[in-house]
Amino acid sequence: MSKLSALTEPFGTGGNSVQAFDVDKVRADFPILSREVYGKPLVFFDSGASAQKPRVVIDCIREAYESYYSNVHRGAHYLSQRATDAYEEARVIIAKFMNAPSDKNIVITSSVTESINLVAATWGRKFLKEGDEVIVSEMEHHANIVPWQMLREEKGIIIKVVPVRDDGSFHLQDFEACLSSRTKLVAITEVSNVLGTRVPIKELTRIAHERGAKVLVDGAQGIVHQGVDVQALDVDFYGWTGHKLYGPSGVGILYGKADVLESMPPFQGGGDMIVRVTFEKTTFQDPPHRFEAGTPPIVQAIGLGAAVKYVEELGMKSIAAQEHSTLAYAQQELADIEGYREVGTAPDKAAIISFLVDGLHPFDVAAVLDRQGVATRVGQHCAEPLMDRMGIEGTVRASFGLYNNRADVDALVAGIRKAKEMLS
């Protein structure tokens, strides 16, 4: 079972004192972190694209397939019941983790991309008319841009874009300037996957609700760094993706308020989401099952439940504190590199650093880093409009996970210095 490192000394962050953990013990939970790349120890700074998995998650997947695998919601036999229990138990774990009122608020999807597309295709198609406005921000991931563009194509809705400031910060007054009587939805990221900027979702939601607009949050980069309390935020939808929260690939989540989910037509048609089918007429299940057509990602959902339990045992506050401390150390060390420039310096950002080095192409920097065993991401990070706005072609991004330590940072810094040396 879960072999978590013991919590160590208390640790201050933003006023509240929380327990930090011993990162090196935690690292031992992740088998991949002990591997080498090109003969050098792996330094993984690409958790923002997808995080590595702790042993408890990998074991949970194996156990499911080896000892109780079956389809769910269908069989009258023992394994089917076991698998159904485990699958629905995962939904309960996830609901509690998000502080959702009930597991009925939790739709299991295949990714946050699907979660957002689901809302666009059901709620959006049903409730948005020509001329209605959807507000997004300039720092959205393509997953929170393209579905609304497709709906614009179909329905003639209008997409309004909240600008970000030069330092990558997001200001509520810029958001308020976009609101109008036609605003029906605010679809916004909680944390920028490029800049690390946090959006003040709670305040934003209060303002949007005052104007009668619904709020959908793309929590892909939010929940992994700070957890979420959907009732405190009061958002209507909150989507996220399992593989970035140390869970398996192939599973995502959509939280929706009960009345909103109930108002929505089904997304896809198939088994499991219906009550009765005749060729003349079909009646659909209640949420969340109405939105889960066909065999769901069974073992992936169960594995995500294990991942959630893992981060809960460490504590989301402790994870945030740990990441914050590593981020601060990194910012300090990186600042010493001549020609180094951080892109996105909003105050209180999440543990994501995008950067450039004067005179060097980001691709070259990332390639040299890679040869040193340091995995980063380079390019536009599925956020091309943000690149256009910042007037750059791309960045190197080091995104932190709960397992990154100061030695990782040192390797990153040394790698950048080496890149400067090799490339100049």
Partner 1 sequence: MSRLLDLEKYDEFVGNLELIDDEDMRFEYIIDVGKKAGDADFPEVMKVDANLMHGCMSKVWIIDRVDDGRHYFSGFSDAIIVKGLVTMMTESFSGLTGDELDALNEDHVRKLNLGALTTQRQVGMLAMLAHLQKLGRRVTTAAAD
Give kind and range of the element (H or E) at residue 179: none
Give kind and range of the element (H or E) at residue 375: strand 374-375
Q: Which residues contact 60 (CB under 8 A, 6 or more apart)?
A: 302, 303, 305, 306
Q: Which stretch binds its own copies (CB under 8 A): 77-85, 174-182, 315-323, 342-350?
A: 77-85
Q: Which stretch binds its own copies (CB under 8 A): 165-173, 293-301, 333-341, 406-414?
A: 293-301
Name the minimum Å distance from CB 412 to its own copies.
Answer: 12
Q: If binding is defined by CB under 8 A, does position 297 make contact with its own copies?
A: yes
Give the three-class secondary structure for 143: helix
Rounded to whole angstroms, how far apart are CA atoms 424 and 408?
24
Residues that bind partner 1 (CB under 8 A): 38, 76-78, 81, 85, 275, 361, 363-364, 367, 370-371, 378-379, 393-394, 422-423
Angstrom distances, CA of residue 85 to CA of 110, 206, 298: 20, 37, 11
Give the three-class secondary structure for 341: strand
Q: Where are the beta strands (DSSP E) in 110-251?
A: 133-137, 158-162, 183-189, 214-218, 237-241
423 binds, among ligand PLP, partner 1, its own copies, none (CB under 5 to 8 A by kind): partner 1
Q: Which stretch binds its own copies (CB under 8 A): 88-96, 221-229, 384-392, 407-415?
A: 384-392
Residues that bind ligand PLP (CB under 6 A): 111-113, 141, 143-144, 189, 193, 218, 220-221, 241, 270-271, 294-295, 382
Choose, from 162, 191, 223, 382, the residue flagged as catalytic. Answer: 382
* C-beta of 20 vs 112, nearer to its own copies: 112
Q: How many residues does the chain have?
A: 424
Positions 116 through 175 that interact with its own copies (CB under 8 A): 116-117, 120-121, 141-143, 145-150, 159, 161
* C-beta of 39 vs 212, nearer to partner 1: 39
Q: If binding is defined by CB under 8 A, does position 268 make contact with its own copies?
A: yes
* C-beta of 13 vs 263, nearer to its own copies: 263
Do residues 108 and 161 make contact, with C-beta atoms less than 8 angstroms apart? no
Do residues 246 and 310 make contact, with C-beta atoms less than 8 angstroms apart? yes
Q: Which stretch binds its own copies (CB under 8 A): 88-96, 262-270, 326-334, 344-352?
A: 262-270
**Neighbour-count burial of 361, counting CB atoms closer than 10 A to its CB (0-12 exposed, 13-18 middle, 19+ buried):** middle
Annotated active-site residue 382? The verdict is yes
Catalytic residues: 382
